[in-house]
Structures are given as structure tokens and as C-alpha cells.
Amino acid sequence: MECVALSSRCCQVLAATPFSRRSQSRAPARYTIPFPTSSAFHRNLLQITVPHPRHNASSSRKGIVATLAEEEKPNAGPWSVRNDFDKDYVLVSEDADEIAKEIEKVEQENALLRSRLADVDKHAKETAEDRKDRIDVDHPRLDARPPQGQEEQAVSEQAVSEQVTSEQVVSEQAVAAPPAPQESAPPGPASSPPEKAPEQSLEQSTLARIQQKDKTAKAENPISIVFVTSEVAPYSKTGGLADVIGSLPPSLAARGHRVMVVSPRYMNGVTDHLYKGALDADTRIQIGCFNGSHEVAFFHEYKDGVDWVFVDHPSYHRPGNPYGDTRGAFGDNQFRFTLLCLAACEAPLVLPFGGYTYGEKVLFLANDWHASLVPVYVAAKYRPYGVYKDARTILAIHNLSHQGVEPGVTFSNLSLPSEWYGALEWVFPEWARKHAFDKGEAVNHMKGAIVTSDRLLTVSQGYAWEITTPEGGWGMDGLLRSRASVLNGITNGVDIDDWNPATDKHIASQYTLEDRSGKAESKAALQKELGLPVRPDVPLIGFIGRLDYQKGPDLIQAGLPELMTDDVQFVMLGSGDTAIESWMAWAETTYRDKFRGWVGFSVPVAHRITAGCDILLMPSRFEPCGLNQLYAMRYGTVPVAHSTGGLRDTIETYNPFGSGRGGSGTGWTFSPLTKEAMMSALWTAIFTYRNHPESWEGIIERGMEQDFSWNRAALQYEQVFNWAMMDPPYA
């Protein structure tokens, strides 16, 4: 068989006798098979090859190996079909009769292809029409300069187009709705600590601009994305990390990206039923680490456009939460999450979801220290051998205070080359060492990811700046400042379907922004449920969160006696520090008609407190993003919070002289973190609630109008992903 490339868009079959001494004068017979082509689908032309008739037919007839529909492969024959890109082919064979017999069969196959290509054309046209209305925000490094001689024409055409588009947009906005309030620009990791950064970097301004794009449109450059996480809602959850991973991937999948989430399959006897939809993927691999070989299995569930992959190993089958039990953290957590990282690196290569694997050109998004070895392994174990050379890695920092620090001798268990010890090396300061012979040598998983990741993300703009300061960097501030050029913050979103006062089944009465009568009914129902006097006029203050140092319950403990001197009610929901839990029981006994403490955590109760309270108090010492303040504003509850991290980014302090209804702002923030500052903000909020109902209603309305959906956040994540794929990888 001989194959010669032609420029025409048809498949031509030539039947001829092979060139030989006896047949040099014989002209080949030409047969033309009409082949369906499409201007919108020209990159999927097919090549037809004919095996030489003198060859063994059983070994040379490969059959059709690729079609538009994987499940409808034609029967095998002397034709072999494969995907090609830009060329048509002329094929030569000595047996014209054999080729003629196949022409009819090929034409039947072409009829099927024509119908498929017609559908592709239709979809391409619809996609092109959708793109006309979208705002294209390109990174400046992608700006292309037209060839000389066409530059002026391109500029003039662009100016005319922008003028027409702007006039249309202005006219439509003037008729459809009043202009939306301009959002404040997200602060980035600057060198000075402004309350609201007055200037933005180029990347930060671009992140702000893409919020104007159509949130329902498809991505222009779909990416294969692999999330690696220790927990994901609703399968496993201990905090906000699970909520983020449970909501962000579906939003990205809805924009056309191919998304996989890799997490352990926890079997603790309590939440096992949550994995009932995840089926065995029939794939087992051996993973070498900790001086041995360990077999892991993969379970898979396809839901909301996302491949949810769960790594199964006996170390994930034990009572407790993902990290520990009532006696503390599990002693083998380093092994368990090293296993997760290595399995996640193999998943895109071995799991053929939808008929094909994700392949090597993927973007890994590792979340917190539990997944932080993924960037290290990609850089140290895969790229040097030509694997994942086109992949990129991003570390998402949800809480820098947890870094996965282990003794230095455990480095040999990680299956990393010895020269990579420096990437993870960590030395404790002298005051933190346990004895005189302790050299403080350790390995820091989070540090390894910060060093080797192609880009870094945090869950809010404010937290991106805080972790570059000595106060908020937890020893990593210097390293993070050195990588500030690839550090961005994106504020988390919320699940607007789960947290929606208009449809929430957990609350007594649903309500909307236009009709908030249900909020008063929810408040009365909450007071009744808690055994408090049902009084619509009394301010009801709530707290939801862990009872630990970060969330600041000790400030509430210090300020409660002063607060209880006023006519207010207070409810707390949370668990953690046993001393705070005991104090909550004491306070409930002491202030019978004013205070209630709920030890533990209940999702329905959290919904009812969010809907029923007038004020939500959040005195967190640090808060990378925070979700409760977003839930509160969505439910018409006014947040009062410490001005830190994501709280500072998402809450606009009330200003009575603002231009909105009764002023501007969506709540109150206070600083510094003292009992006096917290009580001052609380008293101001209570005073406004009692004496300025018009201003209070304005605060509620502005909070409920905020857009904290994951669609907004997904656009910003998508832009950072594009930057990562554009930049060269870590080497």
C-alpha cells in the first residue's frame, strides 16, 4: 500500500498494479469515494488505508479503529480508519475489484458520518453565535500584534466594533435596569497592609474585569482539571474545604472543562452510605512508598458533569473523621495522604472515563497540605522522564496554619530522589525544639508545594496578603513573598441552591428579598425551638463555628457578661474546646432567658440559626475566607466580624452617609481583635437595629443582593488556570 497526501477535501481511492517491470505501462484505475467534509469540522477528516492483497488478510485487516461515535464502530474490513488533522489521501492497490466491492460499504458509512458532521456544524454555529455576546478578557502576554500593513485596518475595525458594542450595551442597560454598584477591586499580596488596597496588580485587575463576563457561557479554552483533596462534600466533611470542593468543580464542568476530583474513600461505619453511588472502577495499581508496595483501588461516580474518584485503601477504613478520632490525630496521616497524592498522580493516566483517560496535559489543583505532595511528585518523579511535561500544578491554600510537618527522617518514606530534600526541608527554631539534642530537622509538605507549584491560590484576596506577613505567614511569609508574582486570592462562593432562603427546607418559613416576612417567622420558630421567650423586638445574636482558638470563642466568653446586661438574646452552635463547651452550659444556666448553647454541629440547626438571627458574630483571629458571613448576608442576617482575611473582603462596614438606602455597607467589621473593639461594633449594630429601622433594612437588602455564587468564582479560577497553562512549568 502506498499513501500520498493531496490537498482536495475528498477521499480518492486508486486501484493500480504495483510498479514493476511487467506493468510499467499500465495506467492505474481511479475510483473516487465521496467523502463528507465540513468547514467547521475539517480537523476531523479520516484517512482510509487499504491493505496489500498479497498480505495475510487476517493479520493486515485492522478494521475501523476510530469513528465519531465510539459505540458505533463499523465492522472490520480491508479499510482502516483513523483520525487525522489537515490532509486527505490517495491510496493505491493492485486489486481494483476488491476496492470496488468496498465502495458501497464505505458510502453507507459516509452517510452516517454526514449526519454526525451536520450535527457538529450546527453545534459549532450555535457556539459561534454565543461567543459574539461574550466579553473576551485576554492576558496581556497573549496580545497578538497583526502583520505589518494590517495593523491599522485591524485597529480601525476593532474601534468601530467596540463603539457599536458599547452603544448597544449602554442602551440595553438604560432600558433594562439601573447600573449595578461597582465592586471594590480585590487587594493582592502587596508589601504594605492597606485596609482596602488602593492599587492593583495587572493580574488582580484582570480578575476583577472577568466578573463582567457572561457566567453561563462556555470556556473558550477547556482544560482537563484534577482536584486533589482530603475531603469533599457531601461524601466527607469537617470544614469549609469540603464545601469548596463540592461546589467549585461542578461550576467549572458547567463551563465546558473536564473535571476530576480525587479523594480518599473513608469507611468509618457512619457515613459509608454516602459512597453508595461510587462504583468500583475495576482498576488496581501498585504504589511504592514507605519502603513497600501498596495496592490501591479506585471507585468512581459521575455526577454534575464531574468524575468523582475515590482512592480505596485499608488505611481509610477506620472510625473517626478523615484526620483523627476522639484521641487525636491519626499517627499514620503522613502515609495516608502520601498514598493519596501518588494515586492522584496516576489517576489521569490509568482511568479511562468516557472511553479515554485524561492524559498528561492536565492541571492539578492540590488543596492544603494533605495534597501538597502532588506538585512535588510531578516535578521530581514525572517531568524528568517526559511525563506530565505539559501539565501544570496549582496549590490552593485554605488554611496555612496546617502544614503537614513531620520528622526529617521520614523523607526516605516519600519515594523522592535525595536531591529533593531541600524542597521540603524545615528547621524548627530553638525555642520549639524538645530537648538539647533536638536539631529541629523536619520535612514540611506545604513548603514543598509552595516551592514546586506553578501557581499559588488562596481563598480570598485579603488572605493572599496576610500570609506574606510575619503575623499571618506561619513561618512561610518569606518564601511566599518570593513567589508573590504567582500568588492570587479568589474569594470562595456558596452553594446558592443549598443556601437559599426561598427554597430552604430546614427553616420554618421561606422568604425572599422582595418578601421578607418569612424571616420574622423563622426568628420566632428558632426562639421557640431553643426555649427562649418569643419576642420579635429583641435582637437575636448568633455564633456558628468550631470552639477553638482561631474562631475566637474566648472573646465571646469575655464579653458575654457585659452583653447580657442589655435586653438581647444569644445562641451559640459549635464543638471543640471542652472548657468552652462547659462554659456554654454554665452560661445557659446563668442567663436562662437570654443564652442558649448547642454543643455539636447540625446542618439543619445551622440553617435555622442563620435564618432566625438578626446578627451573626464572627470574632475570628484569622479567617482565610469564611463562609458563614456569606450565608448570613444571603439570609438577611447582618454580620459583625473581625476585620481579617476573607471577612474584610466580603463585608463592607456600614456607613450612614453612603448613597444607598439609609447609607451603605452590609455589616460591621472591627479591629484590633480585642473585647472592647468587638463590643463596640456589637453595640453599634444593636443601636442601629433598634433606632434606625430604615437603615437596618437597607443593610439587609444590600447583603441579600450580593453575588457570592460559584459561577462568579469559577470565572476567576478559570483565568488563573489559563495563566498557569501559558507559563512555563516549574523546573
Q: Which letter does DSSP use for residue 414 in this model?
A: G
Pick the CATH number of 223-405+448-493+713-726 from 3.40.30.10, 1.20.1250.20, 3.40.50.2000, 3.20.20.370: 3.40.50.2000
H helices of 322-476, where? 333-350, 373-377, 421-424, 445-452, 461-466
- Assigned superfamily of 517-708: Glycogen Phosphorylase B; (3.40.50.2000)
Q: How high is the pLDDT of residue 194?
A: 42
Measured CA to CA, the distance from residue 209 to residue 342 in angstroms comes to 37
Measured CA to CA, the distance from residue 406 to residue 312 in angstroms comes to 24
Determine contact, residues 588/565, Cβ cutoff 8 Å. no
Break the chain into its structural domains and give their ranges. Answer: 2-132, 223-405+448-493+713-726, 517-708
Determine contact, residues 207/488, Cβ cutoff 8 Å. yes
Q: Which residue reads 490501591 in cell numbers?
A: 296
Q: How high is the pLDDT of residue 131?
A: 46
Q: How high is the pLDDT of residue 564?
A: 97
What is the 3-class SS of 432-486, one letter each residue? HCCCCCCCCEEEEHHHHHHHHCCEEEECCHHHHHHCCCCCCCCCCHHHHHHCHHH
Q: How high is the pLDDT of residue 143?
A: 35
User: pLDDT by residue (tens digit) across 449-469?
Assistant: 999 999 999 999 999 999 999
Determine contact, residues 231/268, Cβ cutoff 8 Å. no
Judge if 223-405+448-493+713-726 and 517-708 fold alike in CATH terms: yes
Q: How high is the pLDDT of residue 280?
A: 96
Other beta carbons within 10 angstroms of residue 709's beta carbon come to: 17
Determine contact, residues 398/231, Cβ cutoff 8 Å. no
Angle at 504 between CA 500 and CA 506, to 5 degrees: 140
Residues of the chain with pLDDT under 50: 1-93, 131-200, 202-203
**Cell numbers for 145:** 500584534
CA atoms within 13 A on the CB side of 574: 25
Q: How high is the pLDDT of residue 167?
A: 42
Determine contact, residues 560/597, Cβ cutoff 8 Å. no
User: pLDDT by residue (tens digit) across 81-132?
Assistant: 333 333 333 344 456 666 666 676 767 677 776 776 676 666 666 655 554 4
Indicate the pairing of strand 392-397 with strand 405-407. unpaired
